[in-house]
Amino acid sequence: MSEFNRATGPVEVADVTAGDWLLVDIERVSVGDHGVMAVSPGLGLLGDRVIEADSRIVPVRDGRAWVTDSLSVEIVPMVGVIGVAPGVGEVDTELPGTHGGNLDTRFVTTGNRILLQARHEGGLLSAGDLHAAQGDGELGGTGIEIAGEVQLSVRKVEYDGTLPAVEHPSSLSLLSSAKSISEAVRAGFDEAVELMARWHRLDWEEAYRLTSIVSHAEISQMVNPLQTARITIPRQWCALDFD
């Protein structure tokens, strides 16, 4: 475990300066013919019950991953780590944050888009840590960790948020990371209320009420040093048009 969560990059994006927003289209995520899953003492929510480390090679064929000799799941390849260089110093790829990073969010997948705010000229975008499949929370500590390739396209857009966000056809998910899920949810909800107020020209109390009934709190991952939550807003309430 001395080397993990490797990411390819950084890639400089032309005509991007600090403060600009990048819209990163996930054009394609393809994965290899086998992945791996590990069980280890201290890993995941029930790691205190694990006595001895164990791992399994997970064959992948015909769009399915064989987690036992007789049981398989449909693969939904995703990008676990994607982010820009932080504003100050360096950050380990184990950590999620406002720069993106180890978000372990299953919606970072083919056909969706992620918004990231550049902290440096060129943005300095990196991506890696592919999973063939992962549930919300990544509760056991890993997805199906796997090699593969990612095709991205990147452009600069106007956006008035502060947190990374995943745009999918039906909704927008704001991604917030903190020491606890409750703190992450609070930060994401705070931003959602501010965005709804601006988008719909509401006062704060009106936006607070509206966001409470149309948004959804979801968990991306609970196993990294900082935990990541999503506040998901249905597309009909989002005043966004990147196309």
* Distance in angstroms (rounded) separating the CA atoms of residues 232 and 215: 5
Query: Quick one: angle between helices 204-214 and 181-200, nearest 10?
Result: 120
| Chain segment 167-177, per-residue pLDDT in tens | 999 999 999 99
Q: What is the mean pLDDT of the chain?
A: 96
| Chain segment 146-165, per-residue pLDDT in tens | 999 999 999 999 999 999 99
CA 158, 29, 75, 227 dihedral sign is: negative
Distances (CA, A) of 76 to 79, 110, 111: 10, 9, 12
So what's the pLDDT on residue 6? Answer: 86
Instruction: Report phi then psi at 213, rounded to 5.
Output: -100, -15
Topology alike, domains 10-31+76-157 and 165-237: no
So what's the pLDDT on residue 88? Answer: 86
* Distance in angstroms (rounded) separating the CA atoms of residues 190 and 177: 13
So what's the pLDDT on residue 5? Answer: 80
Return the amino acid letter for 5: N
Is the confidence at residue 4, as pLDDT, over 80? no
| Chain segment 185-239, per-residue pLDDT in tens | 999 999 999 999 999 999 999 999 999 999 999 999 999 999 999 999 999 999 9
- The pTM (predicted TM-score) of the whole model is 0.94
Q: Which CATH superfamily is domain 165-237 in?
A: Acetamidase/Formamidase-like domains (3.10.28.20)
CATH code for the domain defined by 10-31+76-157: 2.60.120.580
Collapsed DSSP state (helix, strand, coil) of residue 104: coil
So what's the pLDDT on residue 87? Answer: 86
CA 143, 145, 150, 156 dihedral sign is: positive
| Chain segment 100-111, per-residue pLDDT in tens | 999 999 999 999
First-to-last C-alpha distance (Å) of the chain? 42
* Distance in angstroms (rounded) separating the CA atoms of residues 235 and 221: 23
So what's the pLDDT on residue 16? Answer: 96
Q: Per-domain residue ranges for the chain? A: 10-31+76-157, 34-73, 165-237
| Chain segment 16-56, per-residue pLDDT in tens | 999 999 999 999 999 999 999 999 999 999 999 999 999 99
